[in-house]
Chains A and B, each alone.
Chain A
């Protein structure tokens, strides 16, 4: 009996170390192996995401991730993502009671938007390919190191990033402290060149052919086992970006302060391409520092159902503050089946330089004071609600399939922010 208990204890201790290593990896955003993963096989997750907005963007995103834990408890994670997007994207202009005219991203074509319609650019089409590799290894019994690389490429965007970090187990591995540092370098090559900011789109003035930015991230994490059924994670993430942060395809509409209708470019000394062509390219600051605090709790009930509650507070030096609440309840059913409803609520304040539209006086003041302006609804006041459900089944030999269906609704201070989207996903896991 004593021997049996001792063996049980040793087996559990092994799974504890594995569990906490997993927890720390997850904390670092590193793909990790399941607690019961065999060490001589690859765990392969294949997932297809379908994302579709009403009258706007659609995306198909297949992802394959392969993970393996080796005998010395080092881990390797590889991930390939292909992201194919198409559809209509809001071009930043205001929704007004008169027709408006814009140029395409390349500046070669002209399109018009009817009075009352959300100004959408229908030439949005891109394919993103991203690959990442992450390796982690034990430095000693309680200290694990991790390092990774990632690349992402689109038609007009290229990104390369590297990260490195440490996680330290304390208090019989009930406490894990983590630190991760990441560096990312992005190159942006807008179609037709980089627009001259705050100049009339109808004039089509371009500067260089490409721009760049760098992003430095640091993440401090604390994972704590509270009791036998409750684990908590608290992260602090600071992110400092420097360089080109402007969206080269977005404009801000200039309006008449009395009528509220769009101004004409020719009346402002610009080229005439059609009615309501008083649109200027947007401009954002060339630096941004974000602070995010993330708190997650997972509690397992006596019947093995799991309640997960996540909350994030984010604030930045652009004037945006946001709250995100994420709730999941996992019903553990018989024969490996599970059902998991999900609710997410998000709210943000607007950036200091967000304007639904600008009067000529406001525009001249911004130009004179070297200030910034953007009409991108994603920088305005925003409230998002997502509801959905995921269900699936655990099968023999670690195999699993799952599927989820969710609905997202965005709303804000402008009609351009009224976006409805459906998120569908199917996934399958196997060991190889």
Chain B
């Protein structure tokens, strides 16, 4: 119970801290570039890489998940 309270309090603190981060709506020019958007910047590369390394390593996930998997023998 105490652990849950600590986790919840930490999350609230982090979100409260986030209020001091970021930019005004008219300062988004750089962030609007595709190269600055996680998951979108490299087109289909991420999906290709996730599939290659999923089938060659013992790890997967994190960036996203799913997508049909494979037998990958």
Chain A positions within 8 Å of B, measured between CB atoms, are 5, 8-9, 12-13, 15-16, 18-19, 22-23, 25-29, 32, 34-36, 45, 47, 49, 51, 61, 63, 65, 81, 83, 89, 124, 126, 128, 130, 132, 150-152, 154, 156-157, 159, 161, 163, 170-175, 180, 182, 184, 186, 188, 215, 217, 219, 223-229, 231, 233, 235, 237, 239, 247-250, 290, 292-294, 296, 298, 300, 304, 306, 308, 310, 312, 314, 318, 320, 322, 324, 328, 330, 332, 338, 344, 346, 348, 351, 378-379, 382, 384, 390, 402, 404, 408, 410, 419, 421, 423, 425, 427, 429
Contacts and interface: CB of A to CB of B under 8 A. Distances in A.
A384 to B, nearest CB: 7
A93 B29 CA distance: 55
Contacts of B57: 322, 346, 348, 378, 382, 384
A224 B69 contact: no
Given A217-B65, A227-B22, A384-B57, 20 more contacts: A13-B25, A16-B31, A23-B38, A25-B40, A45-B43, A83-B51, A124-B73, A152-B67, A171-B21, A219-B65, A224-B18, A228-B23, A228-B31, A248-B73, A298-B38, A312-B62, A314-B60, A320-B58, A324-B59, A410-B56
Interface in B15-73: 15, 18-19, 21-45, 47-49, 51-53, 56-71, 73
B30 A300 contact: yes
B52 A157 contact: no
Which applies to chain B's interface (DSSP): helix, strand, loop or mixed? loop
Contact of A159 (B15, B61, B69, B73): B69
B44 A235 contact: no
A27 B22 contact: no
A22 B20 CA distance: 23
A334 to B, nearest CB: 16
B48 to A, nearest CB: 5
A225 B41 contact: no
A387 B4 CA distance: 42
Which applies to chain A's interface (DSSP): helix, strand, loop or mixed? strand
Contacts of A228: 23, 27-28, 30-31
Contacts of A65: 44
Contact of B62 (A174, A237, A300, A308): A237
Interface of B: 15, 18-19, 21-45, 47-49, 51-53, 56-71, 73
Nearest to A151: B68
A351 B58 contact: yes
B61 A290 contact: yes
Contacts of B69: 152, 157, 159, 161, 184, 186, 215
B33 A227 contact: no
B68 A296 contact: no
Contacts of A344: 49
A35 B34 contact: yes
A12 B23 CA distance: 12
Given A27-B38, A161-B66, A314-B59, A154 B32 contact: no
Contacts of B37: 19, 22-23, 26, 32, 35, 231, 298
B45 to A, nearest CB: 7
25 contacts: A9-B25, A12-B29, A18-B32, A19-B32, A22-B37, A29-B67, A32-B37, A61-B48, A132-B68, A154-B70, A163-B66, A172-B24, A175-B18, A228-B28, A229-B31, A231-B38, A237-B62, A249-B73, A250-B73, A290-B60, A292-B62, A306-B41, A312-B59, A314-B60, A423-B52
B50 to A, nearest CB: 9
Contacts of A306: 33, 35-36, 41
Contacts of A310: 63
Complex A-B, nearest 8 residue pairs according to Cβ-Cβ distance, in ascending order? A29-B64, A26-B39, A174-B22, A152-B68, A294-B62, A292-B62, A157-B71, A13-B25
A322 B67 CA distance: 22
A185 to B, nearest CB: 10
B66 A312 contact: no
Given A239-B61, A322-B57, A47 B43 contact: yes
Contacts of B53: 346, 384
Contact of B38 (A156, A233, A378, A402): A233
Nearest to B20: A171
B40 to A, nearest CB: 5
A429 B44 CA distance: 11
A71 to B, nearest CB: 20
A23 B39 CA distance: 7
